[in-house]
Amino acid sequence: MEFMGAKDALCKVANLNIGLPDTLAYYDEASFSAGFKKTMAFQPRVIKQNRGSSGEGIWIIKLKAGNYCKAYGERSCSDDEVLDMMEANDNHAETHTVAEFIEFCVNGRTGKSGTWTSKGVGKYLEGGKAAGGQLVDQRFCPRIVEGELRYNMVVDSLVGIIHKKPAAGGISAVGGTGSIYTYYGSEEPKFKTLTENFLKRDLVHVMPSLGLASEPVPLWWTTDFILASPEGTPSDQEKWIVGEFNCSCVGISKCLAAYCKDDTPNASYSDISPEDLKEAQVYGDLMGTKAYGLLESARASPVDTSCITKVAGDDLGLMAQPKNPKYKVALAQIYVRSQPYGGSDKSSNGHRYDSIPFANGMITSGMSCQLIHYTQQEHDKFFEVCKQFDAIIVRCNPGQIKADGGDQARFDNGMRDMRKLGIQVWPSPDVMEFMGAKDALCKVANLCIGLPDTLAYYDENSFAAGFKKTMAFQPRVIKQNRGSSGEGIWIIKLKAGNYCNSYGDRSCADDEVLDMMEANDNHSETHTVAEFVEFCVNGRTGKSGNWTSKGVGKYLEGGKAAGGQLVDQRFCPRIVEGELRYNMVVDCLVGIIHKKPKEGGISAVGGTGSIYTYYGPEEPKFKALTDNFLKRDLEYVMPSLGLADEPVPLWWTTDFILASPVGTPADQEKWIVGEFNCSCVGISKCLAAYCKDDTPNAKFTDIAPEDLKEAEVYGTLMGQKALSIITQARTYVDVSSITRVAKDDLGLPPQPKKPVYKCALAQIYVRSQPYGGSDKSSNGHRYDSIPFASGMIKAGMSCQLIHYLHQEHDKFFEVCKKFDAIIVRCNPGQIKADGGDQGKFDDGMREMRKLGIQVWPSPDVMEFMG
C-alpha cells in the first residue's frame, strides 16, 4: 500500500511504456523550488501531492502568459510569474504567482501564499520523505480533457475498463464533478495497444520498479491512464501513461447499494440487485482463485534458513523436496560441539542418525522437510525461522541442549511460543514433560492400562508417610522422575517379608530392612527404610548409609515445579518374565518388542544381558492388551495427562508390565503401563548410521537395505499421520479474544470444513462516525466485504471477517498470526479517525509479512504504488 500509494511511484515507472521520462519527485523545499521553476518554464505541468485523495492537492498548472521556453532548462520561472491553476478534486480554478504556489505547497496558508479557495491546507512536504511528504511533477497531457481510462485489476487480470470523461470545461474526472463514466469489457478493441503494453510488457516490471520485487501484485487494484499522444495519432500507436495506481481499499462499485448513508441508513447486503451481485461475485471468485495461487506460489519456495548456521556437512539420503509442498515441516536437531561426533546419536555428517527416514516420510506425503540445527547463540534467529514452518519435528536428545551450553527451558519456551502461533510441534515441550514424568502413571491409574494404587510424592513428608504404608503392605517399585535407562528406579521388598494383610494395617518402622534392586544395571543393595528415605530426599549423607548406585539420589530436589517427584507403584513379580514395548506412530501400533531380563534380573534395560524378541502389531498372544490399549484407552491418554489439546506424539513408545497372577488366561491378562516415552525415541533399524569409536565415519548408507526398508515404512507412516494432523488442525482461527463488531455476516457462505488456507478480512469501524464510516453496511461490515470473503471460500479457503480496535492492538495481531493471509479493507484515514495510529497498525502488518503471512495489500505496497 505504502509503495504503490506514493505519488513518486510515477517516477519509478517513468521508463516503462506506461511512464513519462520527465516525471520528477521532490521531498524538500529547495529541490521543489528549483525543479518546479525549471519544468514550469518549459511546459504545462501536473503537480501531485502524496497524501490527498479524490484529487485534492493535484494541480493542473499553466503559465498565464504562455511564454514557455523551447528547450528544457533554457530558463526558470521567476517568483512573480502568474500561474493559471485547476485542482482535480472539484475542477475549481485559482490564479497565483509562482512564489505563492511554492509557499502554499511548503507552508500552507501564510502571509506569503496569497488567498486560496482550495479545500486543502497545502503543506505537502511536511514531515519530509519518511512521513510521506512529497510532490510529483509530471508533464501535463492536454488530451486529459478527453478523459482517463481506469483499468480494474484482480492481481494480473484485467476485469474491466472505465472511461472517465470530465464535465465540459473541466480537467478532472473525479466523482461528483459532473464527469461521465463509460464502461468497457477487458478486451475492448479500441484500447488494445494500451492493454497489451500494460499487461504483456510492463506489468511484470511494475513491482520491481517500485522496489517491491518480493511482493505480489495487489489482489484488487486500479491504474488510471492518461492519453499522452498528440491528436491524430493512430490508435495502435497511442501512448497512454500512468496517472495513478490505487490499491488502498478500492471499492467494488456494484456493491454500493449496500452502504449506509442518510437516505439509506439500514442498507445491507441484500439491497444489492441480483445482476450487480452476480458481477461483484465474479470479481470475488476471481480474487479467490488468484489468492489461492499466490499462497500456493509462496508455499512452493523453501523457508529461507540462511540466517542460521548450516551445521550438517551434507543431507545424504534426503529425497528432493516437492515443488509444491502441501505444508512446510522442519526437523530440528542439536549438535553438541564439545562431544565426539556431536553427541552419541549422530551420523558423521552431523545429522541425527535417524533423521533422514523422518524427513523422507514427510516428503513422501507431499510436504517439504528441511533439516535445521539449534545453536543457543542463534536462539532468536532460530525461532524467527521456525515461525515460517507449519510444523516442527523436535529431535534433540534430552540433555544435549544443556551439554552444548544452551538452556533447555529457554528452548522449550520458544517451542511453546510456536504452538501459540498454531504451529505443530512434535513432541511439544508439554507433551514431553507430561508424558515423560513418572507421575503420568498416576494420571492413567484408572484406565485399563493403569493400577489404582499408584501414588506420587512431591515432598519429604508425603513420601516418608506414604512409602512406609505401601511398603508394609506389598513389594513396591519406586521411580524417580529425572533418570533414564532405569537409573533411580528401585524394585524393593521387605527383607523379613512381614507384609500386613490389608493396606493401612501398619506402617514400616525406620529400622526395617529393605532388599533393593536398581533397574539400570540390576545391582542389589540392602538399606533400612530410614536410609532409603534419606537417600531419596538428600542423597548421600551420614544418615543414608553406603550406596553402590551410580546415581546421587535427591529425587525430590527442587519440588514439583522442577521435576522433583517419586512414583510408588505396586511391584508386579511377573516382570521377571519381561516387559512389552509398544512402538507407536501416532495412534498406529507398528511393532511389539518383548524385553526379557537376564536370568536373576528384573530390569530389561539395554546392556544388562536382556533378551529382545520382536513381534508384529497383530501378534495374537497380546491381542487383549492391544485391544484394551488401542480401542479403549488410547483416546483418553492425552486428556488424562492434561494434554487434551495436543495430538498423540508422532513417534513414541509405551512399556507394559504383566500384573496378573500366574495362570491367568491370555485373554484376561492385565498389562499396566510402566512408562511412556516420546522424548527423541530412536529408530533402532538406523543404528548402523551413528558414530562411535569403532565406526567414526558412520553414515546413512551404512544402514542395511532391509533395515532401511523397514525404517522407511515407519517414516512414510509418520508422514501420512503428520499430514493428517496438520490438515485436521486447519480449522477456524479462534477470534474470541477480540471484539466482535459486526452484528451478523449476512450473505457469507459457510466456511469449508477443511480449508486449504486460512484468510482474514480485516476492517475498521469508526465508532465516532455515523454508520461506522462512509463505507459500511448496517451490520458493521464494509459494504463490499462479502464478495471478497465469498471468493476466498469458493476457492477452498476459509475467510473470517474481523475488526481492528486500537485498544486491542496486541490481541488483534496475535490472532492475525494464525492466518495464512490477511486482506486489509481499512479505508485510508479511518484508523486515525477511530483514535488509532496508522503507523502502528502498518508496522503490525509488516510483522505479519516477516512471518511469511500474505498481506493484501501490504503497507509498503500501498505506500509505494499509491
Residue bearing cell 506489468 = 203
Residue 3 half-sphere exposure toward CB, CA atoms < 13 A: 21
pLDDT, tens digit, for every residue of 559-610?
Answer: 988 889 999 999 988 988 999 999 999 999 999 999 998 886 666 665 567 7
CB 721 within 8 A of CB 647: no
What mean pLDDT comes out for the span 493-501?
96
| Whether the predicted pLDDT of 91 surpasses 60 | yes
User: Residue 291 belongs to what H/E stretch?
Assistant: helix 274-300
The per-residue DSSP string of 368-380 comes to EEEEEEE-GGGHH
What mean pLDDT comes out for the span 422-429?
94
**Which residues of 238-342 form beta strands (DSSP E)?**
240-246, 328-334
Cα separation, 478 vs 578, in Å, equals: 18
What mean pLDDT comes out for the span 175-194?
88
| CB-CB neighbours of 751 under 10 Å | 16
What mean pLDDT comes out for the span 21-31?
91
Q: Which of 126, 109, 98, 107 is nearest to 26 (CA)?
A: 126
| CB-CB neighbours of 754 under 10 Å | 10
Cα separation, 847 vs 843, in Å, equals: 6
| Whether the predicted pLDDT of 523 surpasses 60 | yes
CB 453 within 8 A of CB 495: no
Confidence of residue 177 (pLDDT cuts 50, 70, 90): low
Cα separation, 1 vs 594, in Å, equals: 64
Strand order in the sheet with 180-184: 180-184, 157-165, 148-154, 220-227, 240-246
What mean pLDDT comes out for the span 768-796?
96
What mean pLDDT comes out for the span 609-626?
91
Residue bearing cell 523551447 = 70
Cα separation, 57 vs 136, in Å, equals: 11
What mean pLDDT comes out for the span 280-287?
95
| Whether the predicted pLDDT of 652 surpasses 80 | yes
Strand partners, 861: 2
Confidence of residue 271 (pLDDT cuts 50, 70, 90): very high
C-alpha cell at 26: 521532490
pLDDT, tens digit, for every residue of 457-489?
Answer: 999 999 999 999 999 999 999 999 877 778 899
First-to-last alpha carbon distance for the chain, in angstroms, is 7
C-alpha cell at 778: 448496517
pLDDT score of 2:
44
Which pairing describes strands 455-457 and 476-480: parallel, antiparallel, or unpaired?
unpaired
Strand order in the sheet with 368-374: 368-374, 328-334, 391-394, 424-426
What mean pLDDT comes out for the span 374-400?
95
Residue bearing cell 507394559 = 656
Residue 652 half-sphere exposure toward CB, CA atoms < 13 A: 25
Confidence of residue 424 (pLDDT cuts 50, 70, 90): very high
pLDDT, tens digit, for every residue of 208-257?
Answer: 999 999 899 999 999 999 999 989 999 889 999 998 899 988 999 899 99
Residue bearing cell 470479481 = 283
| Whether the predicted pLDDT of 288 surpasses 70 | yes
User: Residue 415 belongs to what H/E stretch?
Assistant: helix 408-420
pLDDT, tens digit, for every residue of 110-154?
Answer: 999 999 999 999 999 999 988 889 999 999 988 988 999 999 999
The per-residue DSSP string of 558-577 comes to TTGGGT--EEEEE--GGGGG
pLDDT, tens digit, for every residue of 700-716?
Answer: 999 999 999 999 999 99
Determine the distance from the C-alpha atom of residue 623 to the mean position of all C-alpha atoms in its chain, rounded to a whole number: 43
The per-residue DSSP string of 87-133 comes to ETTT--EEEEEHHHHHHHHHH-S-TTS-----SS---TTTTTGGGT-
Cα separation, 139 vs 538, in Å, equals: 87
C-alpha cell at 755: 480449508
C-alpha cell at 795: 476457492
| Whether the predicted pLDDT of 725 surpasses 80 | yes
pLDDT score of 51:
77
pLDDT score of 776:
97
pLDDT score of 854:
95
